[in-house]
Amino acid sequence: MAKEYVVAILGATGAVGHRMVAQLAASSIPVKEVKLLASARSAGQQMEFRGQTLTVEETTPDSFNGVDLVLSSAGGSTSKKYLPEAVKRGAICVDNTSAYRMDPEVPLVVPEVNADQLKHHHGIVANPNCSTIQMVVALEPIRKAFGLKQIIVSTYQAASGAGQMALNEFYQQAKDHLAGKPMEANILPTKGDKKHYPLAFNLLPQIDVFEDDGYTHEEWKMIHETKKIMKNDMDDADLKVTATCVRVPVPIGHGESVYFQVEDESATVADLRKVLETAPGVVVEDDPAHQVYPQPLKAEGTGDTYVGRLRPDAENKGAFNMWVVADNLLKGAALNAVQNAEELIRQGLL
């Protein structure tokens, strides 16, 4: 008989955690038992899993006794505190936070791109940043076919990427502004920083905190995670990557304007489109004559990565522009985590 797994979802009450519960329920993973873990604040809350009503528990190290698989999305410090406890107790963790992504012992995996790295895990597998995931899903098939020299990306990232509280704050700002009241900002652009600004009717060119070089940490993550996933080296010098990350007043679904240069300068848009049309997890939505292109509202609730507006840079051979959209809470987080777990099982690693 196939093995059945005891699964803990750490951060089950959050924007991503909720979706991890739903994606696990919809997955092929044989589940014996699910433990829903969060902070003391939400202990006692009830949630559904495959027709059962489950009660959320406060997380303690002993919550992981007997657990085979942990899916976690409760913030970096919570992962640092509890994942070693889970690993000590024999569990394998797929972590959606940035806590372990750059640890050389931890594979950083998007199954469509580098599932072969999973076998190197020591108990923890990291899920990349939401904006990185959708970009590499779209670019890896191109890299494989034509080589890739450079990526210049500008992101248009949804409010939900900053968590459920940030999303609630954004909705409240929109309501207040339309009612003629002042907008209050206590979370965005980023929880840990000194100043806060409204996102409603605005654009915030800051996601996460600033580094000394003037880039934000989100931009740093996109650069180094992309290199680690595609080239297996976070500081790879052959693939040049630069990023500008912007929070936009959209609830769910990140957009990205991706400019890239391939090695094979004979590649045409038709060649790229052909590759993308058969790429796993990619849906090409690109028909300017009929105004067909990816949009967050259409991507919301789906697991695919949508690519459109594919066009050559007329002044640079081998360079192209495209527009990439995905549901940041699903392919950008919960779905990718569950796909990693499914892949661990498929490879006999769990």
- The catalytic residues are 130, 254
Q: Is 39 in the site for ligand A2P (CB under 6 A)?
A: yes
Residues 149-188, interacting with ligand A2P (CB under 6 A): 163-165
**Which window, 36-44, 86-94, 106-114, 181-189, contacts ligand A2P (CB under 6 A)?**
36-44
**Rule CB under 6 A: which of 76-105 touch ligand A2P?**
78
Q: Which is nearer to ligand A2P, 141 or 163 (CB)?
A: 163
Q: Which stretch binds ligand A2P (CB under 6 A): 71-79, 199-207, 217-225, 284-292?
A: 71-79
Interface stretch with ligand A2P, choices 12-20, 103-111, 197-205, 280-288 (CB under 6 A): 12-20
# residues near ligand A2P by CB under 6 A? 18
Taking the least distance from each CB to ligand A2P, the nearer of 191 and 311 is 191
> Least distance to ligand A2P from the beta carbon of 10, Å?
6
Query: Among 34, 57, 71, 75, which residue sits at the site for ligand A2P (rule: CB under 6 A)?
Result: 75
Interface residue with ligand A2P among 7, 8, 13, 216 (CB under 6 A) is 13
Choice from 8, 24, 38, 329 touching ligand A2P (CB under 6 A): 38
SS (H, E, C) the chain: CCCCEEEEEECCCCHHHHHHHHHHHHCCCCEEEEEEEECHHHCCCEEEECCEEEECEECCHHHHCCCCEEEECCCHHHHHHHHHHHHHCCCEEEECCCCCCCCCCCCECCHHHHHHHHHHCCCEEECCCHHHHHHHHHHHHHHHHHCEEEEEEEEEECHHHHCHHHHHHHHHHHHHHHCCCCCCCCCCCCCCCCCCCCCCCCCECCCCCECCCCCEHHHHHHHHHHHHHHHCCCCCCCCEEEEEEEECCCCCCEEEEEEEEECCCCCCHHHHHHHHHCCCCEEECCEHHHCECCCHHHHCCCCCEEEEEEEECCCCCCEEEEEEEECCCHHHHHHHHHHHHHHHHHCCCC
Binding site residues, ligand A2P, CB under 6 A:
11-17, 38-39, 41-42, 59, 74-75, 78, 163-165
